[in-house]
Amino acid sequence: MKKERMKDLFRDWRVLALLILLVLSVIAIYPHFDNNGNLTTNLQYGLDLQQGAWLQLEFKAEVVGFTTTEPVDTFVTNLSKSLDTDVIQVDASHLEIRKSFTQAELEPYFAAEGGTVVSYQPGISAATADLVKQILEQKINAMGTKDAKVNTLTGLNNVARYVRVEMAGVDMNQAQQIIGKQGKFEIRIQTTGNSTEHVLYGDSITSVQVPSQSPAGSGNWGVGFTLSEDGASTFQSAAIKYGATVDPSNHKLAMLLDNQTVYSAPLSQQLAGSLQSEPTRELFASTGTGTNGMQEATNLEIQLRAGALPVDVSVAGSGSTSASLGQHYMTMCLIAGILALIMVAFVIFYRYREPRIVLPMVLINASEIVILLGFISVIKFQMDLPTIAGLIAVLGTGIDQLVVITDEILHEGIVPSPNVYLKRLARALTIIVIAAATVLIAMLPLALMDLSTLKGFAIITMMGVIVGVVMTRPAYGKIIMEILSE
């Protein structure tokens, strides 16, 4: 009879789905021995659990609310010239000034150009913060650094004042070199066949504009950039020398970053004609139309900067973790997890005094952790101390919900009939779903906001709740029914 009941249990889709997910999670985690005979997995560890360094950088810029009696375009252009820096219009009433000024220093400049400072906030706009994040990520990836995280800390007013960079596996000196390093940017002109000749290096580019549509009105997206006076003369001479001004289609302009071609296109007829007579400092690299053209323009802007950020930064904070300290933290986290599971088992046994109830509860609880670790491994999420805290929190909330199911079923101290059992199980699951919804709502702001040290905790807690409601609670309800029916 018992064998038949066990077969029926494992044929149940809820139990079967749980077992399949457990097997897939173990495969994703892939525990194995490395070449040195040490047990390792596919899990990636963050800065807290291995050697690494972090830097918090402060943007030397500000977002200013303004009013003006002048046309906005004229006002922005004149202000940019008087301040000798890039001034970007964020929206109808805010400007981003990419240089460090106090509000008192800005007010005379605004007044001179026919404007007034309405509000002042140190930092950069959310769009520029996203660009900074992409530049830093590309720079870190180009250096071959693994397990790196870049988080811009953006407030509710959409102004970011800081960016935090975490790099596991490197020391502080390496981290500072990687952040400060620029790539080698080069412009070349096609001569004959696939041969090209050097024209300029990136130091001849004095400024790079944000992606925009062509001023000619063609609808093409692209990036405008400005050459120095010497760079413009050199560019004109090379274009004439190699025939790009008279035969643009066979003498394309190529841009390379660290010897990799990032852009290649012929000169426009208008630019080719103007270069015949005079140097041109203002250039526009067209990338195409539509969404794809806009994305290509964004990528090209990053390449043109060659790793240089659009605004200056200063180090507002830094820190590092040694290899021995990271190993100590990892060991303590493992001990904390095991102790948490043991304490859960002890409390459950003290409550029910029935091993047949305690064992399924503990195993179901442990299975949630394995499934979450498999999920972490698949998405390459870094495990750090907040993530570990989230896993331990899942142990606690998970066992609470299993107790709700068990107590609801044993409401009168006896095993109910199958029909009554299903009604009580449905009522228990309803309570659990409502409780899970409150946890998800509470954790959602932490998961979405740029609080990098708390994101891991929030995401893992939310995933634990979802896995519990969708997978482990229904499976436990079926398992405990079979056990109590005996």
pLDDT tens across 171-229, in order?
A: 777 777 777 766 778 889 888 878 888 888 888 888 888 888 876 656 788 888 888 88
CA distances from residue 399 to 361, 368, 396, 457 in whole angstroms, order as listed: 7, 11, 5, 18
Q: Quote the DSSP letter at residue 412.
A: T
Q: What is the pLDDT of residues 19-31, one digit of tens each?
A: 999 999 999 998 8
Per the listing, tokens 């789905």 go with 17
CATH code, 2-50+322-485 = 1.20.1640.10
> What pLDDT sits at residue 2?
62
- The band of 124, judged by pLDDT with boundaries at 50, 70 and 90, is very high
State yes or no: pLDDT of 483 exceeds 60: yes
> What pLDDT sits at residue 156?
74
* CB neighbourhood size of 195 (10 A): 10
State yes or no: pLDDT of 144 exceeds 60: no
Per the listing, tokens 């006896």 go with 414
Phi/psi at 428 (5° precision): -65, -45
Query: What percent of the chain is modeled with pLDDT above 70?
Result: 93
- The band of 318, judged by pLDDT with boundaries at 50, 70 and 90, is confident
Q: What is the pLDDT of residues 322-362, one digit of tens each?
A: 767 777 888 888 888 888 888 888 888 888 887 888 888 88
CA distances from residue 197 to 92, 194, 253, 286 in whole angstroms, order as listed: 44, 10, 10, 21
Q: Exposed (0-12), middle (13-18) or buried (19+): which is 191, by Cβ within 10 Å?
A: middle
> What pLDDT sits at residue 371?
93
- The answer to whether the CB of 232 falls within 8 A of the CB of 279 is yes
What is the average per-residue pLDDT within 302-314? 80
- The band of 1, judged by pLDDT with boundaries at 50, 70 and 90, is very low
Query: What percent of the chain is modeled with pLDDT above 90?
Result: 15
Question: Domain-by-domain residue ranges, the chain?
Answer: 2-50+322-485, 55-169, 185-305
Q: Given strand 260-265, what is the order of strands in its sheet?
A: 196-201, 185-190, 253-257, 260-265
Residues in CB range of 66: below 8 A, 6 or more apart: 93, 94, 95, 110, 115, 116, 117, 118
Cα separation, 409 vs 484, whole angstroms: 9
The one-letter code for the residue type at 204 is S
How far is C-alpha 317 from the geometric centre of its chain's CA atoms? 20
Residues in the chain: 486
- 158: left (phi > 0), else alpha (psi -120 to 50), else beta? left
Phi/psi at 450 (5° precision): -85, 50
CATH topology classification for 185-305? Gyrase A; domain 2 (3.30.1360)
Q: Exposed (0-12), middle (13-18) or buried (19+): which is 14, by Cβ within 10 Å?
A: middle
Q: What is the pLDDT of residues 383-434, one digit of tens each?
A: 888 888 888 888 888 888 888 888 877 766 566 677 777 788 888 888 888 8
Using DSSP bridges, classify how beta strands 221-227 and 282-288 pair: parallel, antiparallel or unpaired.
antiparallel
- The answer to whether the CB of 326 falls within 8 A of the CB of 51 is yes
State yes or no: pLDDT of 64 exceeds 90: yes
